[in-house]
Amino acid sequence: MRVLVTRPHDDAAETAAKLKALGHEVLIAPLLEIQFRAGAELALDGVQAVLITSANGIRALARRTNRRDVDILGVGAQSAETARQLGFACVNHADGDAEALANLAIATLKPENGALFHAAGAETRGRLAETLQAQGFDVRSETLYDAVAARALPSTAQAALAQGAIDAALFFSPRTAQIFAEIVAREGLAESCRALSAVCISRAAADALQSLSFRAVQTASHPDQAALLALLKT
């Protein structure tokens, strides 16, 4: 299969390697550019665990602290693996979404043992802190990075889409799906989407593509990369 990957560059490279190992051809078209925010060393004294809702959250955290002894609770397997690669020793993950991460924190942590720190992106604050605060936790959240939307597809992706040279496009978030829909409409490529399958990590991501018509729209059975890539075999 010829597969379009719309993730930010670092994440897209990791996904591309997995796709190539499965025998697929890959075209990368990052629809978000991650910009890490500069700042002082993060104050993590009194923090019992850091909450990570994306791999970019742990990348951002690692840029702002030399500590690797803090406990990390990640949203899924990829964020947890990224944490381990960056030297964090005590890592657990919820194998799901932000709601699953909140449930993991509630099940394994106690409010009296210290604050929680959410390494957030400008678009990933969500209701995580609110849910945990309702359970008595002190949650400190700081925006450590921005995810800036692309204004256009790379020229290679534009040409491949126009020529019908893409079999499937992968969407890992509602926001990237929305950006894709806006770009292809603006660039007059909406009709070209009828020739490819949209492979989405969640129903919310699929819903963000409703303005477009695809050959098929598939949604992963579980909100993670393994379940998403498994759809390419069906």
Residue at a domain's end among 119, 147, 175: 147
94 and 168 belong to one structural domain: no
Answer yes or no: is pLDDT of 40 > 80.
yes
pLDDT band at residue 51, thresholds of 50, 70 and 90? very high
212 and 195 belong to one structural domain: yes
The residues, any chain, with a CB within 8 Å of residue 127's CB and separated by 6 or more, are 98
What is the average pLDDT value for the chain, to the nearest integer? 95
17 and 68 belong to one structural domain: no
Structural domains counted in the chain: 2
Residue at a domain's end among 93, 125, 147: 147
Q: What integer is the mean pLDDT of 191-212? A: 96
What's 49's domain CATH number? 3.40.50.10090
At 95-133, the pLDDT tens digits run: 988 899 999 999 999 999 999 999 999 887 568 999 999
134 and 72 belong to one structural domain: yes
pLDDT band at residue 58, thresholds of 50, 70 and 90? very high
46 and 139 belong to one structural domain: yes
Tell me which residue range forms the domain holding 109: 37-147
pTM of the full structure: 0.88
